Structure 1
Amino acid sequence: MARYTGPVCRLCRRDGAKLFLKGTRCDSPKCAFERRNTPPGQQQSARRNKQTDYGIQLREKQKVKHYYGILEKQFRLYFDKAERAKGNTGDVLLSLLERRLDNVVHRLGFGSSRSAARQLVRHGHVTLNGHKCTIGSAQVRAGDVVRVKNKLRSLDIVRAAQADTGGKNVPDFLSITESQVPEGIVGRLPGPEDVSLPIDTQLIIELCSR
């Protein structure tokens, strides 16, 4: 499967926003965005300072793709599904992205970043409603239970991530149960207010509706 393999700090600098692609490292002094919050590349002074409407819309779409770790084809599928669904297209789009299993694993604090959470899912360290699920893009529903496998290797990886994150990023639509084996419950479907990154979905809709 195609994936981005370049430096992720470059994506934050390009999008002009801290996307927390390296987990807790992004909160440390080592964060490249804090040290160099200018777009990557040379000859910055020669570039035009004013962006076009298309450029602003494209950057907003790219920011969402980089934030959730998806590629263009996946994003288009999500947008087409959101367009066909009832309700506001932008709100439905963000809800679909937040409902990804790898995102839920990350928001529960089981993975320090979305890429780490995706790897946990791909390697079979978590279960969905008691069943093995290795698909990071699987959509969770209200009432679903995401549980870490009761194996030493799985528990060690997740507890190390929990120690790093400190449980700070758990949103309202998720809850963690008090048990020896880390477990989270999806209390409701997520909405735009549950997204931790400010996103102007209207810009994305205008771009994708061209």
Structure 2
Amino acid sequence: MARFRGSITKVSRRLGVALSPKAEKYLERRPYAPGEHGQSRRGKISEYALQLREKQKMKYLYGVLEKQFRNYYKKAVSQRGVTGDNLVKLLERRFDNVVFRAGFSPSRAGARQLVSHGHLMVNGKKVNIPSYQLQAGDVIEFRQKSQNMDAVTDSLNRAPESRIPTWVQVDKAQQKAVFVAVPEREEVQEQFNEQLVVELYSK
């Protein structure tokens, strides 16, 4: 399964946004781009560079590679409604993302590992595809042999209620979640501008 294997902290510093809990700590100490000239890089950023940076933010944030991200965009274009909103909704419906949103893991990378290792089920059936698109009403729960893992229990205990969105209903005691509804764009609080991504691909 293809995935990014580089340093997410370096990418976070380059893009100026924390893409993981670990990267958040690094950005607090070094809020500038990596490399010898990271602190001195200034100057006007071109329109294309801004659009590209927003695309990179979304790609790395949701943990998808270029080809997969472009396919999401093509699907968003083919759907009714605002393309940018559709793109965000498709990414938010990913199985690994919803597992992260539910608080089962402190990061999307960790959530992706839970899914790909076959620890979770959707509506009673094992699903190990991180990109699987959830539908409203889908029930997520751990397989019997994967229940009450220390890492999951710890993540749920640490996850504040405010971090779990209203469109994911979580039963912490049973380690179970329901994907209540596909979120509207205003319900997704992330540091990116998807409209710039649409403009980039529209050229």
TM range (shorter): over 0.9
Q: Which moved more, 1:41-50 or 1:67-76?
A: 41-50
Q: What RMSD in Å do the two structures reach over aligned CA positions?
A: 1.8
Q: Which moved more, 1:135-144 or 1:158-167?
A: 158-167
Point out where structure 2 has 5 or more consecutive residues left out of the alignment: none
Point out where structure 1 has 5 or more consecutive residues left out of the alignment: none
| Identity within the alignment, % | 42
For the Cα contact (< 8 Å) 1:150–1:181, is it kept in 2? no
For the Cα contact (< 8 Å) 2:168–2:177, is it kept in 1? yes
Once the two structures are TM-superposed, the CA of residue 44 in structure 1 deviates from its matched residue by 3.9
Number of matched pairs = 202
Once the two structures are TM-superposed, the CA of residue 202 in structure 1 deviates from its matched residue by 1.3
Q: How far, CA to CA, are the matches of 1:54 and 1:136 in structure 2? A: 30
Once the two structures are TM-superposed, the CA of residue 96 in structure 1 deviates from its matched residue by 0.3
Flag as ranges the 4+ runs of structure 1 deviating above 6 A: none
1:164 corresponds to which of 158, 167, 171: 158
The residue number in structure 1 matching 2:98 is: 104
Query: Is 1:195 the counterpart of 2:188 in the alignment?
Result: yes
The residue number in structure 2 matching 1:14 is: 14
TM-score by length of 2: 0.92
Once the two structures are TM-superposed, the CA of residue 12 in structure 1 deviates from its matched residue by 1.2
1:8-51: CA deviations, max 9, x gaps? 111111111122x13xx466xxx101100101122246645111
Q: How far, CA to CA, are the matches of 1:123 and 1:194 in structure 2? A: 29
Query: Is 1:55 the counterpart of 2:52 in the alignment?
Result: no
Once the two structures are TM-superposed, the CA of residue 143 in structure 1 deviates from its matched residue by 0.6
The residue number in structure 1 matching 2:60 is: 66
The residue number in structure 2 matching 1:3 is: 3
Once the two structures are TM-superposed, the CA of residue 164 in structure 1 deviates from its matched residue by 2.9
For the Cα contact (< 8 Å) 1:109–1:167, is it kept in 2? no
Q: Which moved more, 1:142-151 or 1:161-170?
A: 161-170
Q: How far, CA to CA, are the matches of 2:38 and 2:13 in structure 1? A: 13
1:34-83: CA deviations, max 9, x gaps? 10010112224664511100000000000001110111001000000000
